[in-house]
Amino acid sequence: MRNFASVVSAGLLLSGLSSLISADEAQSVSIKADVAFYGKNILTFSSQPLPTNFVAIKGEKIVFVGLRKNWQGDAEIVVDLQNQALLPGFIDAHGHISFHARVASMANVASPPVGPAKNISDLVQELKNYADSKELVKGQWIIGMGYDDSLLKEQRHPTKDDLDKVSSTHPIMLMHVSGHLAAVNSKALEVAKIDAASKNPAGGIIRRYSGTSEPNGVLEESATYAVRKYMTASNQPFEEIHRGILDYARYGITTAQDGAASPQVVQLLQASAAYREFPIDVIAYQRVDESYIKDSTLALPTLAPYENGFRVGGVKMTLDGSPQGKTAYLTKPYEVQPYGQTADYRGYPIMPAASVDALFDKFIRAEIPILAHANGDAAADFFIQALSKSLKGKNSKDHRSVMIHAQTVRDDQLNSLAAMHVIPSYFSAHTFYWGDWHRDSVLGLERGSRISPTASSLQKGITFTLHNDAPIVPPDIMRLVWATSNRLTRSGQVLGPDERISVEDALKAVTVNAAYQYFEEDRKGSIEVGKQADFVVLSANPLRVAKEELLNIKVQRTIARGVTIFSAENILAD
């Protein structure tokens, strides 16, 4: 299955390769570089690190890495880093960049520190303020993003009764912070034709008022599809996407992902990149579901090299829901059951195991890389079983299938992931955002302490990555590194001290390891001669501060393909 990587490497490495020189040659040959960086805090993350205080780039490529005394060339600009640090550009291992861009135009109904809603009254008022600020036409939808029942004072989802206080004439839809549930008002239910006679769709639930069949306005998983389709696109979609990309860049990200992109979103991203080249690299993974088993005429995604900063990298399937939303599929019941569920409730799968088996087999055979969302350990069992069957009898180890989130994987499952060379991508920001909720309500202390088991993965030799799943939480990589190395909850408690890892290992997960996940380790992830000139400049060296102080480190500059695309201040010096 080496072909998994061939389509990436073919277009990514041939261009300009003949003009590159080795590190040894760079020390003895005079080079005319565009920009050079000089300083004592250069973290290369090279597999064979050498003493480095000088890095030079020409065009989109790195042409020298080493000591300044060995540099024999000239550079038009030299950046004196002083106390700042130069690192490889951060790589977003999983997120939804087009959705992140779209969210900017929605009502922010998140709880602090992301939004203002401390209780349902705050949420309702924020929606009213948002509606008053818009020139809404009759029947126009009011869309909000990020409400979080675990953080609202009432510890519940807003219902249609709450949202009807905002409007009875405009349909309202609020996406849960997890992206796996929605809360809607009566008008939205009417438009979506959801009523007491409506049955729960496969892989979803329409929540009802206790003792009745009347919908209360809360929809889970596939039940949200009836209202999601009304999330209309911006009237300036290309500009919206470019603004979203630039927002990623201010967090030091030089490669971003659009996971679970519909074919229409893939086309939109391609057209947006053609309209104006993306300033950072964007990789889309096309959403697939059971329809790809039932309908053989559905086109498989076309893998190709980057064009205008965009390429399609594979497929993404979803096996279960959200732990904080209590729809993730577990092997043991939730610590506290969600509204209306019995004591043995443990979530549910999005599709049956047989369908997961068939999808894995289809795409493994087609040599198309797979990302599969599996939050609960029962969903992880589906993943492991399906991949094991698909790989049976094959010698290749290079499929690089990715288990997205892998939030509750057990130790025995980690052994299986190691044996099959699976890459778990951990949503380890959970330890801060929902750590207290996981411990006290979702999983209990024992299971909650093991979420995102990064230290256990290191001990087993598993290559893993980290992600923020933006827009679920902002694409703040330094907060992600802080959360992974400290595992502090909102209340200041350490959740699972044995699963903390070093800052260096966390940084490698968002650079070197993430490049490997994308089959791009030959051109990204570390600062080495011949690689793409993707860098982030930080206000301090993250390896030289106490890990508790990582949140004080700020992104000063983001450089992608040799071009500065974000700058917090002018740090250039002659």
Q: What is the pLDDT along the chain (574 residues), one digit of tens a residue?
A: 434 444 444 443 333 333 344 444 544 557 899 999 999 999 999 998 899 999 999 999 999 999 999 999 999 999 999 999 999 999 999 999 999 998 888 999 999 988 999 999 999 999 999 999 988 888 899 999 999 999 999 999 999 999 999 999 999 999 999 889 999 999 999 999 999 999 999 999 999 999 999 999 999 999 999 998 888 767 889 999 999 999 999 999 999 999 999 999 999 999 999 999 999 999 999 999 999 999 988 989 989 999 999 999 999 999 999 999 999 999 999 999 998 899 999 999 999 999 999 999 999 999 999 999 999 999 999 999 999 999 997 766 689 999 999 999 999 999 999 999 999 999 999 999 999 999 999 999 999 999 999 999 999 999 999 999 999 999 999 999 999 999 999 999 999 999 999 999 999 999 999 999 999 999 999 999 999 999 999 999 999 999 999 999 999 999 999 999 999 975 443 3
Number of compact structural domains in the chain: 3
375 and 324 fall within a common domain: yes
The answer to whether the predicted template modeling score (pTM) of the entire model surpasses 0.85 is yes
> In sequence order, which residues have a C-beta less than 8 Å from that of residue 258 and are 6 or more positions away?
95, 96, 97, 98, 99, 265, 266, 269, 282, 283, 284, 285
In a domain, 573, yes or no: no
486 and 435 fall within a common domain: yes
Do residues 73 and 31 lie in contact, with contact meaning Cβ atoms separated by under 8 Å? yes
In a domain, 295, yes or no: no
In a domain, 139, yes or no: yes
191 and 330 fall within a common domain: no
452 and 560 fall within a common domain: no
Q: Which CATH number belongs to the domain containing residue 70 in this structure?
A: 2.30.40.10
CA nearest 334: which of 343, 452, 373? Answer: 343
460 and 539 fall within a common domain: no
How many Cβ atoms from other residues are within 10 Å of residue 36's Cβ? Answer: 23
In a domain, 36, yes or no: yes
In a domain, 551, yes or no: yes
Rounded CA separation 152/133 (Å): 24
Q: Which CATH number belongs to the domain containing residue 438 in this structure?
A: 3.20.20.140
Domain that holds residue 445: 314-517
In a domain, 267, yes or no: no
339 and 475 fall within a common domain: yes
Q: Which CATH number belongs to the domain containing residue 191 in this structure?
A: 3.10.310.70
47 and 140 fall within a common domain: no
* Residue 413 CA: distances (Å) to CA of 399, 403, 461: 18, 11, 14
Do residues 321 and 220 lie in contact, with contact meaning Cβ atoms separated by under 8 Å? yes
412 and 556 fall within a common domain: no
| Residue entry with tokens 């974000």 | 566
Q: How far is CA 20 from the centre of its chain?
A: 33
Rounded CA separation 185/537 (Å): 46
